[in-house]
């Protein structure tokens, strides 16, 4: 990706091998750039407008600033191909892509080489679309991708269930939108020892700017842990680097992240995150020091930790197979059909942060005893103060205080 300021506005070009996408507020600038590219590379196929096909994705840029991302045509072809290749009719109806016992491995025979090939082929196809348009499939994929080496008949049944769910929801598309390009919320949740074969945990995470998720993760942890708190701590170390990269990326686009919030549902882990080794007890002293880099980020004020009740933890969808009404609620948020604030009650929209009702507080944490009185809008600003980051406090004063 490359940026350039043209006529006072940013022009962005993104490319993937020989597929490119360009954007600018002025359409004539886009036409000029395309003409320059055509002069050197003949035979270009150009698409313009709010509806684009890019890298197999169907993009629809809406007037409200949000974008619809779908892979409907790809999924329809995949379903047809699955039924023709395997001879299996996908006519059963399931409410979820994975059953509650998804992570359990039953004793069953391995698939024959022919169906092992089918299993690997369609797992990879679904994995591709789950990272682009269907985050609601990622938890099931997080397990099935661990079974591609030697799949069994039980694994085949789990894949068939997933394909039936996809057929019933083939027309679903995700929506992504941002309340404010300076605010980022990350939710991380890890399930302890849920993989029965080696008793490892499973990490789930989501990142959002309000509507839908920018990124999601559902994967088996790469090490064994002794407690749920340690499992959560290791999950942070696995998932947070993406959030940090996203902050750097947004800053390169001209949007510095001012509210980088990490939501967690484990209060013991929150103490470890904030205090580091000072909060370690006899059963947590063994946690490797390399995982405490997150604490350093928190103390620098680059990450604000917020407690999130378990029933509001959307990342829980990614760490274990949700069922029933919880599945529907979390899925609506993941797909962008519901705003994150409808589930996570502590999420504060930007317009709510600058409302007329104001609070006054005094702090000395950031200035080593030099007490200052500052008028803040909403309680979320207190977290930045506690983080004792002078630069972040300055940004808040500019952005939130009249």
| Predicted confidence (pLDDT) per residue in 142-175, tens digit | 999 999 999 999 999 999 999 999 999 999 999 9
| pLDDT of amino acid 284 | 57
Please report which confidence band the pLDDT of residue 289 belongs to, taking 50, 70 and 90 as the band edges. low
Residue 119: how many other CB atoms lie within 10 Å: 21
Cα-to-chain-centroid distance, residue 18:
27
Residue 15 has pLDDT above 50, yes or no: yes
**Distance in angstroms (rounded) separating the CA atoms of residues 322 and 324:** 7
Model confidence pLDDT, tens digit, residues 117-140: 999 999 999 999 999 999 999 999
List, as one string, the DSSP characters of 220-244.
E-SS--SSHHHHHHHHHHHHHHHHH
**CB-based burial of residue 356 (10 Å sphere; 0-12 exposed, 13-18 middle, 19+ buried)?**
exposed
Position 283 scores a pLDDT of 58
**282: confidence class by pLDDT, cuts 50, 70, 90:** low
Residue 124 CB partners (closer than 8 Å, separation 6+) = 148
Per the document, the length of the chain is 402
Q: Which residues in 190-221 are b (16+ Cβ under 10 Å) and which e?
A: bbbbbbeeeebbbbbbbbbbbbbbbbbbbbbb
Fold of 177-347: Nucleotidyltransferase; domain 5 (3.30.420)
Residue spans in the chain of domains classed CATH 3.30.420.10: 177-347
Q: How confident is the model at residue 41 (pLDDT cuts 50, 70, 90)?
A: confident
**Residues 250-275 as b or e (16 or more Cβ within 10 Å = b):** beeeebebbbbbbbbbbebbbbbbbe
- Is residue 378 over pLDDT 90? no
Residue 394's pLDDT band, with cuts at 50, 70 and 90, is: low
pLDDT band, very low/low/confident/very high, at 285 (cuts 50, 70, 90): low
Least confident of 120-129, 229-238, 260-269, 270-279: 270-279
Lowest mean pLDDT segment, chosen from 5-9, 137-141, 354-358, 386-390: 354-358
At residue 398's C-alpha, the angle toward residues 395 and 399, to 5°, is 85
Would you state the pLDDT for residue 167?
A: 97
Provide the total of helices (H) and of strands (E) in the chain, helices listed first: 13, 15
Residue 361 has pLDDT above 60, yes or no: no
Range name among 88-102, 304-318, 382-396 with the lowest pLDDT average = 382-396
Predicted confidence (pLDDT) at residue 99 exceeds the cutoff of 80: yes
Residue 351 above 80 pLDDT? Answer: no
Is the confidence at residue 369, as pLDDT, over 60? no
Of 51-65, 212-226, 244-258, 289-303, the poorest mean pLDDT is in 289-303
Strands 51-54 and 19-23: unpaired
Average pLDDT, the chain: 85
| C-alpha to C-alpha distance for 352 and 361, rounded to whole angstroms | 18
Instruction: Return the pLDDT at 266.
Output: 84
pLDDT at 358 over 70: no
Mean pLDDT across 182-191: 94
Which of 1-15, 192-206, 292-306, 309-323 is the least confident region?
292-306
- pTM of whole model > 0.75? yes
Q: Which residues face 206 on adjacent strands?
A: 187, 216
CA distances from 317 to 65, 100, 365, 367 (A): 27, 12, 37, 40
Provide the pLDDT for residue 97: 97
pLDDT, position 377: 38
Percent of the chain with pLDDT strictly greater than 90? 59
102 contact partners, CB below 8 Å, separation of at least 6: 139, 140, 143, 158, 321
Quick one: average pLDDT of 4-29? 90
Question: Residue 276: which pLDDT band, with cuts at 50, 70 and 90?
Answer: confident
Q: Report which secondary-structure segment, H or E, holds 295.
A: helix 293-299
- Dist. CA 315–CA 330, nearest whole Å: 9
């Amino acid at each position: 990706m490359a940026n350039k300021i043209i006529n006072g506005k940013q022009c962005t070009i993104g490319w993937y091998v020989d597929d490119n996408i360009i954007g600018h507020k002025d359409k004539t600038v886009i036409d000029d750039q395309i003409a320059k590219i055509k002069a050197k590379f003949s035979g270009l196929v150009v698409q313009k407008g709010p509806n684009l096909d890019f890298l197999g994705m169907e993009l629809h840029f809406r007037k409200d600033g949000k974008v619809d991302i779908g892979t409907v045509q790809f999924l329809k072809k995949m379903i047809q191909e699955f039924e023709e290749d395997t001879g299996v009719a996908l006519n059963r109806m399931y409410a979820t892509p994975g059953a509650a016992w998804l992570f359990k491995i039953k004793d069953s025979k391995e698939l024959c080489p022919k169906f092992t090939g089918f299993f690997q082929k369609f797992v990879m196809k679904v994995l591709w679309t789950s990272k682009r348009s269907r985050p609601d499939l990622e938890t099931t994929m997080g397990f099935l991708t661990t079974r591609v080496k030697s799949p069994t008949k039980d694994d085949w049944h789990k894949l068939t269930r997933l394909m039936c769910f996809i057929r019933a929801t083939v027309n679903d598309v995700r929506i992504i939108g941002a309340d404010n390009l300076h605010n980022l919320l990350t939710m991380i949740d890890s399930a302890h020892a849920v993989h029965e074969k080696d008793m490892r945990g499973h990490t789930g995470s989501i990142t959002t700017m309000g509507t839908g998720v920018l990124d999601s993760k559902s994967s088996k942890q790469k090490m064994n842990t002794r407690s749920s708190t340690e499992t959560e701590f290791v999950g942070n170390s696995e998932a947070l680097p993406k959030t940090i990269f996203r902050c750097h990326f947004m800053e390169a686009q001209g949007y510095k992240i001012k509210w980088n919030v990490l939501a967690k549902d484990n209060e013991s882990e929150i103490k470890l995150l904030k205090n580091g080794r000072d909060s370690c007890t006899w059963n947590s002293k063994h946690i490797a020091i390399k995982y405490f880099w997150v604490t350093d980020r928190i103390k620098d004020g680059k990450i604000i930790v917020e407690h999130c009740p378990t029933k509001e933890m959307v990342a829980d969808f990614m760490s274990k197979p949700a069922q029933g009404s919880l599945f529907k609620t979390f899925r609506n948020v993941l797909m962008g059909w519901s705003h994150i604030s409808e589930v996570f009650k502590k999420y504060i929209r930007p317009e709510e942060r600058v409302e007329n009702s104001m609070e006054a507080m005094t702090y000395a944490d950031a200035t080593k005893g030099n007490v200052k009185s500052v008028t803040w809008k909403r309680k979320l600003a207190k977290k930045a103060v506690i983080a004792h980051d002078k630069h972040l406090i300055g940004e808040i004063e500019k952005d939130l205080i009249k």
